[in-house]
Amino acid sequence: MAENGNTKRKNATRRCPVCGHESWRIIYGMVMRDTVEQNPKAEFAGCVMMHEQRIYPATGQVEWGLPEWACQNDECRHRWW
């Protein structure tokens, strides 16, 4: 089965802007087994979505948002949107 652009985009990883380690997309909600299998590099956060506060490094401004990415480095665990 060939991967399409959407699958590649969902499974993409990013580098953490804090430590440079691999970061995975956060998926919220109740997910079925096939969703987990289709997204091996995703962090499943459950149904409760909590907005988090951060200080944006470039401007120093306080922002609120729902994290979309999570660093997989156990010593960092930075989350951002």
Taking only the tens place, the pLDDT of each residue in 6-44 is 555 556 899 999 899 999 999 999 889 998 899 999 999
Measured at the CA of 14, the angle between CA 42 and CA 16, to 5 degrees, comes to 105
DSSP one-letter code for 14: E
Distance CA 52, CA 13 (A): 21
Distance CA 58, CA 49 (A): 26
pTM of the model: 0.74
pLDDT band at 55 (very low <50, low <70, confident <90, very high): confident
If you search the block for the tokens 């990883």, which residue do you land on? 13
Per-residue buried b or exposed e for 69-79, using 16+ beta carbons within 10 Å of the residue's own CB? bbbeeeeeebb
